[in-house]
Structure 1
Amino acid sequence: MINFDYRGLTGEVITKDDFEYEEERKAWNRAIEKYPLVIVYCETEEDIRNAIIFAKNNSLSIRIRSGRHHYEGYSTGNDIVVIDISKMNKIYIDEKNETVKIQGGTRNRELYEATGKMGYPFPGGGCPTVGAVAFTLGGGWGYSARLLGLGCDRLVEAELIDSNGNLIVCNKDVNEDLFWALRGCGGGNFGIVTSMTFNLPPKIEMVTLVNIDFTNIDFEENINLVEAWQEKYKVLDKRANFKMAIYNSSEKGRGVKITGLVYGDKKLANDVLKPIRDIVTTGTYSLEYMTVLEANRIIQDSHPEYEKYKSSGNFVYRDYTREEIIELLNLIEERAEGAVYTAITFYGLGGVIKEVKKDSTAFYHRDANFILGFQSVWEDAKYAPINRSWVVEKLKYIKSITKGSFVNFPCAEIDNYEEEYYGENSRLLKKIKEKYDKDDFFNFEQDIRIEKKLWYNILVE
């Protein structure tokens, strides 16, 4: 066993010998069981540099962590150095220049609170403890995205520390290629992002929060609902966006839950949702007109403290036939052994998302209609292997009717993941990776792959 000298590390250092280690190693997805060598909670850029130096001096890999929400656990690992920046979470709002600057460890809830209290909406994510930087690096889907754009679309500048400890500033004028890559390429490829600056949207005070739960839905109604949903999104007001989860729950049985925001009053929300209400009359239908901050608080509070799950996200580019919808619904007709919840979820795209060209940022799948999420949730750890296998098997059909995968809903079993996540943009991303991380220091299970050059000493006799 190697004894490491941790004295060069600064910030809060937690090793396997510390009492806190067992709690601090955990991910939000409690199905992730990884045992890092050391966790370094950084509070300054110097702490980050010292962690990088320590890893290099000891030939150790690193992982970057802020919200602990990576679906496959790539923000942690076995016998590696976790550089955790969650304590770097200061937020600076500049109303004169209409910008908000956040440190790299800021999370969704913190950002919503800061902007919302001053009357600004923000196109963040739904889960409160997701790191806002990591959310943005993967594109950044949210309930406000059809009106305000993806999270990455409002980014105007980023700062990161590279493998040599240098601070790199990138925007449309400086290191423009890296700035392009950071808007959709996912986290962990080029460096450790220490800050991001976003354009603030215009102030919007009120919004309608939509919460619909069609419990015990009839199978035929469910088919009709998906058909109507596809048609509705072709003409949907960009002020509205929703997540529609078709679920099979041990608690509630089969149903459909729709959550969303409409930047308008209840009348607008009712008009938008009328085709849906005409199909299904069971369950609960709630529209609440409230401040944007209050709506985001309710959405975020609806998420569990943690889960054990396996999931994925693929892009929907076309309407599904009735036969394909039936096949989709049949995927969740029975849950995997030990599962308490499984769902197929349509995350709405379109609106201003499609108005940006797919090569304008690294986020490639702008022309898609939806992100199709798929997940299985369990509680007892002994059911983890069977649930993982169940999801992977069911994904074979989903893959056949979708195109590309969402890097913020990653799946370890994806073949050709670079092409799946980034499409034609993957070729340029490789060149940018070679430029800014030529030694491939920032590597992990699904990083941007670069060709490693091998040098040989040639002996001439």
Structure 2
Amino acid sequence: MSEATTVRLDPGAFGELRESFHGRLVRPEDPDYDTDRRIWNASIDRRPALIAFCTDSDDVASALRFATLTGLEVAVRSGGHSFPGQSLTEGGVVIDLSAMRKIRVDPERRTARVQAGTLLGELDQATQRFGLAVPSGVVTHTGVAGLTLGGGIGWLMRRYGLTIDQLTGVDLVTAGGEQVRADASENTDLFWGVRGGGGNFGVVTAFDFRLNPVGPIVLAGPIVWPMSESARLLRFYREWIAEAPDDLTTAVVHRKAPPLDFIPAELHGTPVVMVVCCWAGSVEEGERFLLPLRRFGHPVLDLCAPKQYTDHQAMFDASFPHGRWYYFKSRDVAALTDEVIELTAHHAARFTSPMTAFPIFQLGGAISRVGEEETAFSGRDSGHTFNIGATCATSAGFDEERAWARGFWSALAPFESGSYVNFLMDEGPERVRQAYGPRKYARLSELKRRYDPDNVFHLNQNISPDGAV
């Protein structure tokens, strides 16, 4: 029996919580417990003592007070996509925000107010009704909250920047249960910190975003070559994107072709390399710019075409569903040098799982034109982010696939120019410090001392309140 199932919740404290709480409270003995505790990454299996499904900020404050009073560890869950499973605790309290999913769009002012349990696909659907969008991630069942607080990379980032670059304010519940506002005029230090500093300073319950004109039609999708063409393609790609305008964001993906209906059966399981494009401007201009890529070598499949923006946003969903076993390693690199390209081609040929896929995201554009010190996010000058993912259906073969990811990641170490905190696993405090750099980490640590001196919110890429690593 797991330790968590033996935790006895203080009856007096739990009774007080139940009286003030508006949402559901789920314990290990409840019939829905095993369903309710699951998160996206099935390799993470933890048993919290309590899951508090909050309906508003008052519920969040009540759940925090209960956890503090009883001394139980706190995890905060929005979409549950944390790579290392930091949205789930063993024997503690999960503050679940999934019932908080209201979205209010003002198309005239081009703004959206978004509750913290909202998923990316829901936000896209609400804003695309008006031909507007927030730059966000690449899997629609990801939570808005976790993605945003770590920075937010996705298909519009070279045109409109990171998700945090369109964030205008947040509502937040502190470790002490205080409900505060942070924006450009109120608690400005905290507003700086939540734009890249993760969930270190409190539970964000609502986000305010600027919206941008997008679509509804974009020129988007993958162009596919045999994996054997990886090195040649990457060298061509490096030169081709050197002149790319901000309208274009791309990712190079190595994987085995999945058995999807729109992929010819003869390609299923075949090792391939693809350039996935999203052109957010005029389709005609995009067709002209993409022409050299389409003509490179001998593509085995070309699915880059005008389509609904929301359809493109969901393109990776089938590759990253709930319930698989996931492990990720990540590094930023300044450029795709010949050495980086050769390493990539070498390691891409050595994974075995038909579910493993690793994207190399193109950065730059609008990301790099925001000042490095304007937000807590670090790495605006990086050229590419490697998201080396090992994926299996079950535990079978997972250890071997994970070892492949670690080996590839280690080989890229000499070329690292930074790291994206949303792509980190549980890699220790020194790695977090490196991700932010000493100056930003010191500023974040000072904020942590002010808003969470006891480190209640430590299930994250944690900033130490004492500045230690």
- TM-score normalised over the length of structure 1: 0.91
Shift of 1:259: 2.2
Shift of 1:302: 6.2
Change (3 A) 1:208 1:77: same
Shift of 1:286: 2.1
Q: For the Cα contact (< 8 Å) 2:132–2:215, is it kept in 1? A: yes
Q: For the Cα contact (< 8 Å) 1:92–1:102, is it kept in 2? A: yes
Amino acid at match of 2:96: D
2:88, 2:237 → 1: CA distance? Answer: 38
Identity of aligned residues (%): 26
The alignment covers a number of residue pairs equal to 446
Q: For the Cα contact (< 8 Å) 1:315–1:403, is it kept in 2? A: yes
Query: Could you tell me which of 78, 81, 89 is aligned with 2:90?
Result: 78
Structure 1 vs Structure 2 CA RMSD: 2.2
Matches within 5 A, 1:278-293: 278-293=295-310
Query: Could you tell me which of 208, 225, 243 is aligned with 1:235?
Result: 243
1:93, 1:267 → 2: CA distance? Answer: 30
Matches within 5 A, 1:354-393: 354-393=368-407
Structure 1 range deviating more: 163-172 or 437-446: 437-446
Shift of 1:142: 0.8
Change (3 A) 1:448 1:15: same
2:151, 2:184 → 1: CA distance? Answer: 17
Shift of 1:125: 1.1
Do structure 1's residue 327 and structure 2's residue 327 form an aligned pair? Answer: no
Shift of 1:415: 6.6
Query: Could you tell me which of 180, 191, 200 is aligned with 1:189?
Result: 200
Amino acid at match of 2:363: L
Q: For the Cα contact (< 8 Å) 1:340–1:379, is it kept in 2? A: no
Do structure 1's residue 152 and structure 2's residue 189 form an aligned pair? Answer: no
Do structure 1's residue 162 and structure 2's residue 170 form an aligned pair? Answer: no
Structure 1 range deviating more: 194-203 or 418-427: 418-427
Q: For the Cα contact (< 8 Å) 2:181–2:187, is it kept in 1? A: yes
Do structure 1's residue 20 and structure 2's residue 32 form an aligned pair? Answer: yes
1:375, 1:105 → 2: CA distance? Answer: 25
Do structure 1's residue 255 and structure 2's residue 272 form an aligned pair? Answer: yes
Q: For the Cα contact (< 8 Å) 1:392–1:413, is it kept in 2? A: no
2:68, 2:460 → 1: CA distance? Answer: 19
Amino acid at match of 2:271: R
2:312, 2:348 → 1: CA distance? Answer: 30
Q: Which residue of 2 aligns with 1:207?
A: 218
Structure 1 range deviating more: 385-394 or 310-319: 385-394
Query: Could you tell me which of 117, 121, 133 is aligned with 2:145?
Result: 133
Structure 1 range deviating more: 283-292 or 133-142: 283-292
Can you give the 5+ residue segments of structure 2 that lack an aligned partner in the other structure?
Answer: 1-5, 259-267
Do structure 1's residue 440 and structure 2's residue 455 form an aligned pair? Answer: yes
Do structure 1's residue 120 and structure 2's residue 132 form an aligned pair? Answer: yes
Structure 1 range deviating more: 246-255 or 26-35: 246-255
Q: Which residue of 1 aligns with 2:261?
A: none
Structure 1 range deviating more: 283-292 or 61-70: 283-292
* Partner deviation per Cα, 1:221-267 (whole Å, 9 max, x = no partner): 32121112222222111111112112246952321123231123444
Amino acid at match of 1:78: E
Change (3 A) 1:270 1:120: same
Q: For the Cα contact (< 8 Å) 1:36–1:82, is it kept in 2? A: yes
Amino acid at match of 1:183: R
Shift of 1:435: 1.2
Shift of 1:388: 2.8
Shift of 1:276: 2.5
Amino acid at match of 2:253: A
1:19, 1:223 → 2: CA distance? Answer: 52
Change (3 A) 1:116 1:303: farther
1:430, 1:320 → 2: CA distance? Answer: 35
Q: Which residue of 1 aligns with 2:263?
A: none
> SS of the residue aligned with 2:132?
coil
Shift of 1:138: 0.8
Q: Which residue of 1 aligns with 2:262?
A: none
Q: Which residue of 2 aligns with 1:457?
A: none
Matches within 5 A, 1:424-435: 424-435=439-450
Amino acid at match of 1:3: R
Shift of 1:392: 2.1
Amino acid at match of 1:239: D
Matches within 5 A, 1:90-109: 90-109=102-121
Amino acid at match of 1:409: F
Q: Which residue of 1 aligns with 2:8?
A: 3
Q: Which residue of 2 aligns with 1:42?
A: 54
Q: For the Cα contact (< 8 Å) 2:134–2:209, is it kept in 1? A: no
> SS of the residue aligned with 1:29?
coil
Q: For the Cα contact (< 8 Å) 1:417–1:446, is it kept in 2? A: no
1:248, 1:312 → 2: CA distance? Answer: 19
2:395, 2:230 → 1: CA distance? Answer: 32
> SS of the residue aligned with 2:124?
helix
* Partner deviation per Cα, 1:82-123 (whole Å, 9 max, x = no partner): 000011010111234321100111110110010001221321
Q: Which residue of 2 aligns with 1:451?
A: 466
- TM-score normalised over the length of structure 2: 0.89
Query: Could you tell me which of 258, 269, 290 is aligned with 2:286?
Result: 269
Change (3 A) 1:148 1:2: closer
2:395, 2:292 → 1: CA distance? Answer: 41
Change (3 A) 1:62 1:319: same
Shift of 1:341: 3.3
> SS of the residue aligned with 2:302?
strand
Q: Which residue of 2 aligns with 1:402?
A: 416
